Amino acid sequence: MYRILVCDDEKDIVSALKIYLMADGYQVFEAYNGREALEILKKEDIHLVLMDIMMPEMDGITAMLKIREVSNVPVILLTAKSEDTDKVLGLTVGADDYVTKPFNTVELQARVKSQLRRYMKLGGGTVRPDTIVIGGIELNDVTKEVTLDGDKVQLTRTEYDILKLLMQHPGQVFSPNEIYEKVWNDNPFRNENTVAVHIRHLREKVEYNPAEPRHLKVVWGRGYKMEV
């Protein structure tokens, strides 16, 4: 049974998260500030931490720094929409992901599952050279399989080739014409819409929320990229 530490100064949020997580079969530990979270981490074998940023006594960022001194346990930050600067800072100092309040419970459960899978499956070893992992998306170029949080995703050959191109070059922007040339091996003349349709289908299959993609991004006026 996976053991999850939930840390938030709002007791109602901790109680709600405990209900959702226990329904998924996890054992849940409760803390209400960063100091309490660190004490639990010293005593218990915790597999994942869900932690608020703004808390009394010790905030989530300070707690993150102290956790990373001794552990690589995955940490998902719980943030308010107004805390964009703190989200970036949290990811910089070692957080693995963040979820914005109010929570979409399906998205939260998916992110927890994704981080646990990566921690248990990949955390203790090395990723095979034929495998690319970005977030919860994993592409195996030997089996030609793509999974999202461990669940197989059915892609067409063209969708697979586009995803592979973007995942092989994270952060690099490819114009629609460049994608068409590389994937179709053909003249890209007036084929921007073809690429856009395939990108939309890909988002529907590999993004938690296709309307607000976290990885498969459009760069307006320039093209598309895979963001880590």
> In the chain, what are the domains?
3-121 (3.40.50.2300), 131-226 (1.10.10.10)
* pLDDT tens digits, 162-200: 999 999 998 899 999 999 999 988 777 767 788 999 999
Average pLDDT, the chain: 87
| Whether pTM exceeds 0.85 | no
Which residues are within 8 A (CB) of 108 and not within 5 positions of it... i.e. 6 or more apart? Answer: 17, 20, 99
* pLDDT tens digits, 77-100: 998 866 677 777 778 778 888 888
The tokens describing 11, both together, are 């007791």
- C-alpha distances out from residue 203 to 5, 137, 160, 208, 214, Å: 31, 11, 12, 8, 10
Task: Pick 183 or 69 by higher pLDDT.
Answer: 183
Tell me what percent of the residues of the chain surpass a pLDDT of 70: 93
Distance separating alpha carbons of residues 66 and 144, to the nearest angstrom: 40
pLDDT(156) > 80: yes
Tell me what percent of the residues of the chain surpass a pLDDT of 90: 46
pLDDT(119) > 80: no
| Mean predicted confidence (pLDDT) in 96-112 | 87
* pLDDT tens digits, 12-47: 999 999 999 999 889 999 999 999 999 999 988 899
pLDDT tier, 125 (very low <50, low <70, confident <90, very high otherwise): very low
pLDDT tier, 223 (very low <50, low <70, confident <90, very high otherwise): very high
